[in-house]
Structure 1
Amino acid sequence: MKILRTRAASVSRQGLCTALLVASLTAAVGVSPPHNTAGADDSSPRPSDPQGKPHGVPNLALPDLAPKKPGNAGKPGGGTGGDSPDGNTGIPKTALAAYQNAARLAATQLPGCHIPWELIAGIGRVESVHAGGYGLRSDGSTEKPIRGPRLTGGQFAEIRDTDKGRWDGDTEYDRAVGPTQFIPSTWEMSGADGNGDGIKDPNNIFDAALGTAHYLCANNRDLNSSADLDKAVLSYNQSREYVNAVLAWMRTYQSGNVGTVPDNTPTTPHNPSGDTSGTTPTTPSPGTTPGTGSSTPSGNKPSPGKQTPTPQKPTPKPDPQKPDPQKPTPKPEPKPDPTKPTPAPVARLERIGAAEWETTAGETFAEPASVRALDKAGKPVAGTRVRFEIIGRTGARFLGNTTKVTVPTAKDGKAAAPRVLAGDQAGQFTLRITVEGKDLAPVDINATVKAAPVHADKIVRVGNKRLEAKPNSAFADKVVIQASNGGKAMPGIGMTATVAAADGESTVKSGPYFKDENGKPVREVDLGKTGKDGQLELPELFADNKSGGFTLRIVSTDGQVLIVHLNVLAAESTQQPSTTPPATPSGTPKA
């Protein structure tokens, strides 16, 4: 008991918060304490879907929920509670845009899944710490590749090459790749184009985030269900510690305890291969193995009890004749290869596609902006960093919610930006394309955003009560019309009404009527436009002395026609006393 009390007294506030969080997550999804679950239900990895097999070292550090020191909110890495400068709970700006963009697209593509962006962010945090330290760019690419270990067996799964080295650079074995660490064969099934550039690239965080959403939503999962949520995360990595970490970060982001940090925030990158050579150690996050930035992998936990101290060896004195092993030997600058020609510098940009764009507010432009970088001889130049910038005030944005992206040219000299989503505001803007660091003539695309047309595919009368009136009186019930499009109420729909004969076509000169501003009868009126609820109430309708059946023909500006039947009752007959004497019965003598 004394040992237990001593150990409990040493638990930090942060540790208590973390323990409470794990306990709450375990209760929330109905899971058991940490253990390996390699045979769990239908989320077990299949030969064609090896994502759940051990494919790298995830960062299983849990969020630091200890109270933050005041005064950090608003600083780099600061969230609502104020984060440390290394962005413990902060998300790089581009990564956050990618997660939110993926959730928006998934809401349309997979509406029954209900995946929150915070879950995608939880996967990105645990797999690569949001690509931090890898040179994340605004277009979603990274300066350095993010690759897991070679999957040769042993500590990790054995997966022979499936992509001919296309994504992982390895033609013998597969390696998990990108910010969310997709195995190439899994990417082949779940890969997605999250930035609209026509390429599904697991190394681009916009594509990787949407691919993660597709993968987690597979098998018709509804992530509002705790059981489906648990299966989805287990299918990504068959480890209960992994599930706890991902859900802990998801809940933290959902609680608002998160801020954005610049993409270039200094940080030691998390290496999913487990190789820390060449990295600069930083203060490890809570729950991590010092020097790696990731917690002890499942199945490799330290033995409980006392640890045998390692004897200290005397430090040898440095030999001035030998290089200091603590100091890296500087690499000589590579000499140019005289057999290879030096690539000519870019001299101009050539537009690919139309110079004028047009679309409707709220829609996506049909083609992405694309150019080719050429030298003076007209040959393509690879590796040129091309900047695409939206200039204007229509609210237009690249997919990913940004107005500026930089894309390097490929071997053929081409660079394409993500597609552009037109804002809600009509107007014009310019998409300007330039070369970074070069004073070359820009390429401009002039874009026009037209106001979205108001359209209704159906108009109906609200209610079905029979419309009747006595002669020379008003109809007791008002007429209300509802306009909709695809079942959604449509405001701003204009309508007219005309009194017609019972056939709905022939005009009449007598019968029901409206009154104009001077109180005179009119049988054709402009009704105005529907309100925010898509409804429009007609003016009061009157009957003259002509009885019978009539119709009210209502036409919308979209050409939708509605016929409403009207009935004017017959006048009541009044019986007059007769002045003719009654007939004398036959055979009766006259008086």
Structure 2
Amino acid sequence: MKILGTRAASVSRQGLCTALLVASLSAAVGAAPAHSTADHDDPAPTPGNPQSQPHGSPNLTLPDLVPRPGASGGPGRDLGTGAVPDGATGIPATALAAYRNAEKIAKEQWPDCHVPWELIAGIGKVESEHAANYGLRSDGSTEKRIIGPALDGGQFALVRATDGGRWTGDPVYDHAIGPMQFLPSTWASYAVDGSGLGQKDPNNIFDAAAGTARYLCAGGLDLRNQADIDKAVLRYNNSQDYLNAVLGWMRAYQDGKAVPVADPPAAPGTPAPGRTAPSRGSDTTPAEPPRRSPQPSPSGPGPERPGKPTPTPAPKPTPGKTTEPKDPGKDKPVPPAPLPAGRLDRVGDGTLKATVGQSFTARAQVRAVDRNGKPVAGTKVRFEVIGDTEARFPGDSRTVTVVTGKDGSAAAPTLQAGGKAGDFTVRATVVGRDVKPVDFAATVEALPAPRADALERVGTGALKAKANASFAEVRVRALAKGKPVQGVALTATVLAADGKTPVKTGPFFKDDKGKPVRALTLPVTGEDGEVILSGLFTGAETGAYTVVLGTESGAQLVLHVTVTAT
């Protein structure tokens, strides 16, 4: 009776906490703005899809409860040393990075979904304890594979293998796989390369977390709405207890209780989700697909009949020497998986300059390195042109992706400056990873002003006009080595008859407000090298004056003008 009373009290307390948790979550989410009902890139999973059916034993302990005796990452799963217990809010550093990276990818790929990383983390907590028991590595892989029980219709749903055993090793029945416990059929429809390694592996937590974001967002859901959150989570496991647990952990993480912890080693003897602890000598991964027996050659003898096996002669011992069996793999240790890129370093001084219409001589270049500063080959680096500019990569593109070489370096293709002068930025980022970008300042300079070494008047005749009138137009040509020059800017200044002394009376121009001015910038010369001087008024004073035309290069032309009495 005492034991039954204690158990009843525990169940009652958990039910009360669940009710309070659901009420608080509903109040916290509140009414969100209506989301777009436009078609989404991914169709929603069909009702009754295998992923939502029982496919393992998730950990449904709520974050406000103390760990229960013998707490595990799901029934029958021993946490082992260093793993995250039921009631704790610790998240292995790599798992936390994967969840946040998945949110970043979702913002780029499905911006109307608004999936928070804390929701993805809640599913990772409930499904596999963030892969903490399986030796989570910094590249997102695990020392031990995480494969759920066979879905043979016994304790769990009946789901026939859809991938021929590619991911699970079982060609007959499906199993949930990886840190986020995807079924192979679900992964085939919603897989994402979240690691940026050019693969889509449900066993890698970066890929799996990004795939979870895609699965939750499918069908145009907006996860600012509580109803859409519920609908998305129930796609994983159509159970109210499952929903309560996931939302409970999401809320705990959103309240700032997520604590980064070191990636723990694999716990000894950790079985897969939903399995009982293996007996001594058993393996935690499913057996390989059955192999066919060797077939006889059409022209050779038939298969041998069963008979007495011929014993293999034992090696003769050498006197004074102990003979040990040779382990073929002893001298061939498996190299550790390479670490992913954790940083981008700038290569070169990063100075990018070009002239309008020309190509840039320098290129943006970076090197991807891991957390130990070692170069990482095979990393996808995206270079993007940012700003108001006409500069483009080949193919008139503003973005291009380059894969790093053996030394970890990647260089953007040569930029074409385009026809617009100004400053802009070339940004380098690692595809699929939350790595600090590297920005390159770039400048497109205007073409140098054309230079003229001489100016000449086109036409002849005295330049005379009566007072309070205006002079006739004068055509002027700019020359360089005797040839007309296009695009030359000229200034015209009214001076005294000596061509040096400024004047306050006499001929004048008008500015854009109609006020008299005695200096004016003319339009640039045309294709024929010519420009027209017009709008020169005489004023009331009579006498001789000069109009001096000049260029920035120092070429000058002095025009003598006379104002006569009316």
**TM-score normalized by structure 2?**
0.50
Query: Distance in 2 between the 1:421 and 1:450 partners?
Result: 9
| Cα RMSD after superposing both structures | 5.6
CA offsets per residue over residues 428-467 of structure 1, 9 Å max, x none? xxxxxxxxxxxxxxxx94345669999987859xxxxxxx
Query: Distance in 1 between the 2:487 and 2:153 partners?
Result: 84
Is the contact between residue 143 and residue 266 of structure 2 (CA under 8 Å) also seen in structure 1?
no
Aligned residue number for residue 204 of structure 1: 204
Query: Distance in 2 between the 1:193 and 1:107 partners?
Result: 15
Is the contact between residue 193 and residue 207 of structure 2 (CA under 8 Å) also seen in structure 1?
yes
Query: Distance in 1 between the 2:18 and 2:525 partners?
Result: 69
Query: Distance in 1 between the 2:406 and 2:136 partners?
Result: 27
Is the contact between residue 146 and residue 179 of structure 2 (CA under 8 Å) also seen in structure 1?
yes
Letter in 1 for 2:407: N
CA offsets per residue over residues 290-341 of structure 1, 9 Å max, x none? xxxxxxxxxxxxxxxxxxxxxxxxxxxxxxxxxxxxxxxxxxxxxx999998
Aligned residue number for residue 245 of structure 1: 245
Asked if 1:147 is matched to 2:147, the reply is: yes
Match of 1:507 among 481, 488, 507: 488
Shift of 1:576: 8.8
Aligned residue number for residue 133 of structure 2: 133
Query: Distance in 2 between the 1:458 and 1:570 partners?
Result: 33
Aligned residue number for residue 218 of structure 2: 218
Query: Distance in 2 between the 1:93 and 1:391 partners?
Result: 13
SS in 1 for 2:114: coil
Distance change in 2, residues 1:89/1:190 (3 Å): same
CA offsets per residue over residues 74-103 of structure 1, 9 Å max, x none? xxxxxxxxx988881111122122222223
The residue correspondences of 1:361-380 to structure 2 (distance < 5 A) are none
Letter in 2 for 1:419: T
Is the contact between residue 113 and residue 217 of structure 2 (CA under 8 Å) also seen in structure 1?
yes
CA offsets per residue over residues 24-57 of structure 1, 9 Å max, x none? 22345679xxxxxxxxxx966447x421222222
Query: Distance in 2 between the 1:573 and 1:223 partners?
Result: 76
Is the contact between residue 43 and residue 231 of structure 1 (CA under 8 Å) also seen in structure 2?
no
Aligned residue number for residue 343 of structure 1: 328
The residue correspondences of 1:474-489 to structure 2 (distance < 5 A) are none
Shift of 1:278: 4.6
Asked if 1:394 is matched to 2:338, the reply is: no
Shift of 1:223: 2.7
Unaligned stretches of 5+ in structure 1? 1-6, 32-41, 67-82, 281-335, 347-380, 407-415, 425-443, 461-480, 513-541, 554-566, 581-591
The residue correspondences of 1:158-197 to structure 2 (distance < 5 A) are 158-197=158-197
Shift of 1:230: 2.7
SS in 2 for 1:274: coil
Shift of 1:388: 5.5
SS in 2 for 1:446: coil
Work out the percentage of aligned pairs sharing the same amino acid.
Answer: 45
Letter in 2 for 1:550: P
Q: How many residues align?
A: 364
Query: Distance in 2 between the 1:244 and 1:235 partners?
Result: 14
Asked if 1:446 is matched to 2:424, the reply is: no
Is the contact between residue 394 and residue 423 of structure 1 (CA under 8 Å) also seen in structure 2?
no
Letter in 1 for 2:523: F
Aligned residue number for residue 385 of structure 1: 336
SS in 2 for 1:63: coil
SS in 2 for 1:394: strand
Query: Distance in 2 between the 1:570 and 1:209 partners?
Result: 73
Q: Which one has the largest radius of gyration?
A: 2
Query: Distance in 2 between the 1:253 and 1:397 partners?
Result: 34
Query: Distance in 2 between the 1:237 and 1:213 partners?
Result: 15
The residue correspondences of 1:80-119 to structure 2 (distance < 5 A) are 88-119=88-119
Distance change in 2, residues 1:125/1:450 (3 Å): same
Letter in 2 for 1:190: Y
Is the contact between residue 459 and residue 484 of structure 1 (CA under 8 Å) also seen in structure 2?
no
**TM-score normalized by structure 1?**
0.48
Is the contact between residue 93 and residue 261 of structure 1 (CA under 8 Å) also seen in structure 2?
yes
SS in 1 for 2:523: strand
Letter in 1 for 2:379: R
Shift of 1:403: 4.4
CA offsets per residue over residues 267-290 of structure 1, 9 Å max, x none? 69986753333599xxxxxxxxxx
